Chains A and B, each alone.
Chain A
Amino acid sequence: MSERDIQAEIHKIVTENPVVLFMKGTPTFPQCGFSAAAIQLLKNCGASVAAVNVLADQDIRQGVKDYANWPTIPQLYIKGEFVGGSDIMKELYANGELQKMIDEVAPQ
């Protein structure tokens, strides 16, 4: 069995999908209030989100914390760039920045 290169896997996920949310649970069944809030903000912006359920993969769960050097889930990435966690998403949503960022990457 070959060793997984988790950092490479995460890099691939966040660079191949314009909007990625690492969350606990799924968009339909979030299993954490912060993840639920995060996916709701993205839905409000009309975002097409690649959601990754970290509860389904413990290696990804730990790996994504190392990848962004950020200790908590959820984590939002847009165009491969780490944007922040749920508090930052709330701030960006409130001031309209999140909508702008989503609109920029949305397929026309």
Chain B
Amino acid sequence: MDLIAQIQARLAVLEPESIDVQDDSAAHAGHAGAASGGGHYELTVVAAVFAGQTALARHRRIYNLLADLIPSRIHALQIRALSPDEF
């Protein structure tokens, strides 16, 4: 399973309305952090569970679900975590 599919599978527990993962690694190839092999990803997750939660809590939830992939597989992750109302 490729990494994007893995990320989507891990986040399925949030019962998201949508998940979008963009691999932005190419834009960062060659800089110091990219040498470790982990990629840069941009993640947009829309899930009802985020309603009423702070941004900090939402990001923590996502990081916790992906914890063992960071930083070996994921070097950098841009996160947009939205409730359906905010999308």
Contacts and interface: CB of A to CB of B under 8 A. Distances in A.
B77 to A, nearest CB: 7
Among A72, A82, A84, chain B packs the most CB atoms within 10 A around the CB of A72
B56 to A, nearest CB: 5
Nearest to B81: A87
Contacts of B32: 31-32
A87 B78 contact: yes
Given A31-B32, A71-B63, A88 B56 contact: yes
A72 B76 contact: yes
A91 B55 contact: yes
Given A32-B33, A72-B77, A84 B59 contact: yes
Interface of A is mostly: mixed
Contact of A87 (B33, B67, B80): B80
A93 B15 CA distance: 29
Interface string B51-65: 000011001100100
Interface of B: 28, 31-33, 55-56, 59-60, 63, 67, 70-71, 76-80
Given A32-B31, A32-B32, A34-B76, 4 more contacts: A32-B33, A71-B70, A85-B59, A87-B80
